[in-house]
Structure formats: C-alpha cells, structure tokens
Structure 1
Amino acid sequence: MPKPFIAPVVFGVLNVTPDSFSDGGRHAAPDAAVGHGQALIRAGADVVDVGGESTRPGAQPVDPQEELRRVLPVVERLVSGGIRVSIDTRRAAVAEAAVAAGATTVNDVDGGRDPGLLRVAAANPVDLVLMHSRGPAARDGRYQDVVRDTAADLRRSVDAALAAGVPAERIVVDPGIGFSKSAEENWRLLAHLDAVRVDDLRMLVGVSRKRFLGELVDGAPETRDGVTAVLSALLAEQRVWGVRVHDPATTVSAIEVVRRMRAAA
C-alpha cells in the first residue's frame, strides 16, 4: 500500500540584504522586511527564513555586527507576532542572538564548518539545517561524482553536529542546490536525492529562482516561480521534508495538485 502523501514544510525566503540575487534591497528596512514576512505566511509559508548576508556569486562578506543589525529586529518582531522563524546564517553569534530572540531553526548555509554554531544548536531546542556547499553559489565544486561526493560531505557535516551534541532528531540536511554546482550537477542531485539522504534524517531542498532554472525561462529571477513550483511539487512526491521558496502561494498550489492526484488514486 502506498504511503500517505505528506505535504512538505514550506520555508518562505526573506532576504534582509541590499544585494541578494533575487530581491536584494526590497526588504532591507525593518518595516518592509516584517511586512514581507507576514505576507509570506499569508501566502502559505509555514516558516519565514530570515537571512542578512547574500550568498549570491561575488557577494561580499558581511561583518557579523552588520548582519545582526539587519536581522535581529526582524526576527524579534516576527516572533512576537506568532510567526515561526528560521535564521539563515553561517555565524555562531548571529545564530545565538536569533535563537535567543525566538528563532526555532538555524539554517546553517556553511554546513557546520563553524564549531561555535554547532554548539549553539546543541545548547538550544532548535532544528539545525546543514546545507551542503564547497564555496560560493555557482562556483565549480570539482566533484568526481556530485551525488557520491555530496553524500559524503553531508555525512561529515552530520557527524560533526552529532559529536557537538546536536540530537539526530533535530538535524535536517540540505543538498545545497546551486551552491558550487553546475546546472548539470544540480539536475543530477535532484534526480538522486535518496542517495544523499543521511540516516533517514529530514531533508530541506531550496531550488527557488536558482540560476540553473533560468535556462528554462527568460527574464528576471521572478519569472522562475512557475518552474520552481513544478519542481517543488516533484520534490514533494519524493517525500522531502521541506522546500524553501520565494513565492509560497504558487508552490503551495502546485503541491496541492499533487496531493489531490494522490488522493484520487
């Protein structure tokens, strides 16, 4: 008997940055950021993923204090409004402050390279997302086999988190689509997600508006929301735990199509 369909958790992307590839600068002011976070929830997101440092190719690193200045007021206001918040960061200090402000997920875009961040996750009752990356987005990762190598890297990240004291049930893995991977490598990973799962841990996948989807549609990153929704629905069929998107409404509708088809069958 087929397993029942379970819709993935939807993370809505909130970039509190001036230079993110898709919406940099639109939500840099706290009022604008909070308003967009609320809009993401109304559009169907379950969690708002707040990031204060761009990970686009060529982006300049941000001083930790500047990152905190950007994200902390937004996290505090969203949490006070009853919204579940994830903090998208690679820095222990930012993760610690955001968790103290009420964030329930630390989305580590550096895959656990900072032992301090792992200690923060271990010391608090939060989920920890370990995203795979070998450097900035779109940079060649020099893989012999992207599926096998990504699986091995994620295994090391998970082992480091476990050794730091993070319980397995609070760890989520992310294959890092678009990060240090070519378009061909991205598609290959997406087609073989089962091969990069670690210990049956939950998996979060973010494909939203990524550059490799630009090969399918012309125009600005926003024009990729339709293909993002289709791909996210296919990921839901693969039973991923969560998807990370800029446009929750379109993705939630696509996932509902899958649910109804499965229910009718």
Structure 2
Amino acid sequence: MSGVQFSPGIVSPVRRIGRREFDFERQVAIMAIVNRTPNSFHDQGSTYALESAVASATKAVADGADWVDIGGFAFSAAQAGIGAEEEIERVAPVIAEVRAATDAVISVDTHRAEVARAAIEAGADVINDTNGLREPGIAEVAAETGAGVIVTHSLGGPGRRVFRPSYADVVSEVADYLRERVSFALKAGIAADKIIIDPGHDLNKNTFHSLELTRRLEEITSIGYPTLVALSNKDFIGETLDRPQGERKEGTIAANVICILKGARILRVHDVAATVASVRMTEAVLGWRGPVAPIHNLA
C-alpha cells in the first residue's frame, strides 16, 4: 500500500507497554478516555463517581480498547484548581481497581510529579503529560520508575489560559517543541523506547491550527517516536462540521483514519467500539491484518 500511507521510522516499534506488546509498524493502539472530573468537556462528569469511572474503563476494554487513560484534572482553564492530594484521591482508586480487572495498558493523565508517582504505585504504566514534562520532578519520576511517558505539546499547560494562541507555522513549532522535550526526557534518564509524542490538537490551538496539524501530521510522526493523536469529539471537528458535542463521532473517525495514514499509532477516544471497527478496517486495507471471518469461494 505504498503511496497510500506514510510510514515513519519509529524508535523501537515493537514495544512492551505494561502487560501488552505492540508492533507500531503495523498496529494501532486504541486508548479509551476515562475522566474522573466533574467538568470534562465531553462526558460532563458522567464518570466522576468512582464506580462509574471503573465501569467505564472495564467496558472500554471489553469493547476492544488496548489502553485506558485515567485523568483527575481537566486541561481547560475554565475550572477551579485542585491540589495534588485531591487529584491523587480521584485517580489512584480508579487505577487500582482497573489494574485488578484487566491487563490493558493504564496511563494517568497528569502533569504533577506527586500524582504520577502515586498513580504508578497504584498500577499505572504510563504518564500522559499534557504539560510536556515541564513540571519539576515529573521526568525524574518516570526515569526512576521506568514508566512510559507521553510528551504532549501545549503552550500553557493544564488549567492555564492562553488568549488567542498564534503561530508563524504551527506544525514546525510543534515539531521543534516535541524534539526539544524528547531531548529533555532522554537527558533525564527516560529510555527512548518509553517515549511517545502527541502534537496536542486543540490544546492552545484554534480550528485552523488543528486542521493544519492533521494535514501535515507526517512532519510530526517523522520525528521517530510513536505518535498519539487525541482528536475525539474536539472543537475543531465541531467547528469544521458545525456539529454539537454529541454529534462528532463520524468526523472524529474520519480524522483519526487520516492520522493513521500519516503515521499516527495511538488514538485517544471516547467512542471505543466505533473506533475499533474503523481502525481494524484501516489496518486490513493497509495489509497489516487479515479478515477475521473470510468466506472462501472454492467453486
């Protein structure tokens, strides 16, 4: 299928993450979003209760998710701040219960070193940091524990308002930032095969920025580390299609498939079952897997 897809040269494409192994040369991992927050932009607090968060995570794995991302503090600046202890109280019990129930990869969505350490002690495998490892101590936690890290681009980080974000060239600037933060991670002692990158669609970026990142995503994936994209139901999809929050599934699937063709290998999503079907079909068309139930005409 050369000419249809872009194939980035990935550092250590075959990776053991937690209890699962992935071959990112020919496999896409599906990460389910579980927010234990009262103000998450899509689920609006529906998984804030402990039992709801655990049930959402286990259902996602049953629906085919390879990975569950558990967060206790939203990225949005339109919220009251919380302390590290409260964030730990939100995420650690969920992680512990999900860890006991599944071998799926578990990541913690946090930018704080104390929360990352507590999450790893509870059973998390990966630190998903939308602040790009800029908080003091978090890179050291990853290095000491051997956890994986997702290094994400944002200008301000979680809970910090950035008015009218502007870029001379959003893709080049995001790529430069990610290269610099990967270099920082390596110098901090994080192994290269533990690093994943994320360009941060809609994180301090407007719709035109996020569309440009998607259009030129191969400039990000060619950095050489497995690339995660978190597009699910985001505002750039809603604004592009003029669709409200609950009607962005088709746009999300289309954008995710485009990103796979441009080298993305991990998709962070809300709608797991629909994503699994679209990803498995994409992998089959690319020749990475065969049909599950082919009917051979022997006549």
TM-score higher than 0.5 here? yes
- Give the structure 2 partner of residue 91 of structure 1: 112
Q: Which has the higher helix share?
A: 1
> What code does the residue aligned with 2:280 have?
E
The equivalent position to 1:245 in structure 2, one of 233, 256, 269, is 269
The equivalent position to 1:13 in structure 2, one of 30, 33, 37, is 33
State yes or no: 1:36 paired with 2:56: yes
TM-aligned CA deviation for residue 239 of structure 1 = 2.5
Q: Equivalences for 1:47-66 in 2 at 5 Å?
A: 47-66=67-86
Instruction: Say whether the 8 Å CA contact 1:217–1:223 is kept in structure 2.
Output: no
* Larger mean Cα displacement after TM superposition, 37-46 or 57-66: 57-66
Instruction: Say whether the 8 Å CA contact 2:84–2:112 is kept in structure 1.
Output: yes
TM-score by length of 2: 0.83
Q: How far apart are the structure 2 equivalents of 1:41 and 1:164?
A: 33
Evaluate the alpha carbon distance shift between residue 116 and residue 56 of structure 1 in structure 2; reply closer, same or farther with a 3 A threshold: same
Instruction: Say whether the 8 Å CA contact 2:221–2:263 is kept in structure 1.
Output: no
* Larger mean Cα displacement after TM superposition, 229-238 or 48-57: 229-238
> What code does the residue aligned with 2:55 have?
G
The equivalent position to 2:134 in structure 1, one of 110, 113, 116, is 113
Structure 1: runs of 5 or more not aligned: none
State yes or no: 1:214 paired with 2:238: yes
TM-score by length of 1: 0.93
Q: How far apart are the structure 1 equivalents of 2:180 and 2:136?
A: 13
> What code does the residue aligned with 1:153 have?
Y
> What code does the residue aligned with 2:93 have?
P
State yes or no: 1:147 paired with 2:168: no
Q: How far apart are the structure 1 equivalents of 2:184 and 2:222?
A: 13
Q: CA RMSD for the aligned pairs?
A: 2.0
State yes or no: 1:68 paired with 2:88: yes
TM-aligned CA deviation for residue 176 of structure 1 = 0.3
Instruction: Say whether the 8 Å CA contact 1:76–1:101 is kept in structure 2.
Output: yes
- Give the structure 1 partner of residue 65 of structure 2: 45
Aligned positions, number: 264
3-state SS in 2 of match to 1:21: coil
Instruction: Say whether the 8 Å CA contact 1:226–1:250 is kept in structure 2.
Output: no
* Larger mean Cα displacement after TM superposition, 156-165 or 211-220: 211-220
CA distances 1:176-233 after superposition (whole Å, capped 9, x unpaired)? 0001111111111111122224641111110001111112445542311221112112
CA distances 1:62-90 after superposition (whole Å, capped 9, x unpaired)? 21111111111000000011242110001
- Give the structure 2 partner of residue 204 of structure 1: 228
- Give the structure 2 partner of residue 176 of structure 1: 200
Q: How far apart are the structure 1 equivalents of 2:34 and 2:258?
A: 23
TM-aligned CA deviation for residue 142 of structure 1 = 2.3
Instruction: Say whether the 8 Å CA contact 1:173–1:198 is kept in structure 2.
Output: no
Structure 2: runs of 5 or more not aligned: 8-23, 291-299
CA distances 1:29-87 after superposition (whole Å, capped 9, x unpaired)? 11111000011111221111000001134233221111111111000000011242110
State yes or no: 1:256 paired with 2:280: yes
The equivalent position to 2:185 in structure 1, one of 161, 170, 180, is 161
CA distances 1:146-165 after superposition (whole Å, capped 9, x unpaired)? 01111111112111111111
Instruction: Say whether the 8 Å CA contact 1:88–1:108 is kept in structure 2.
Output: yes
Evaluate the alpha carbon distance shift between residue 137 and residue 178 of structure 1 in structure 2; reply closer, same or farther with a 3 A threshold: farther
3-state SS in 2 of match to 1:85: strand
- Give the structure 2 partner of residue 229 of structure 1: 253
Evaluate the alpha carbon distance shift between residue 128 and residue 72 of structure 1 in structure 2; reply closer, same or farther with a 3 A threshold: same
> What code does the residue aligned with 2:48 have?
A
- Give the structure 1 partner of residue 124 of structure 2: 103
Instruction: Say whether the 8 Å CA contact 2:231–2:256 is kept in structure 1.
Output: yes
Evaluate the alpha carbon distance shift between residue 139 and residue 198 of structure 1 in structure 2; reply closer, same or farther with a 3 A threshold: farther
3-state SS in 2 of match to 1:202: coil
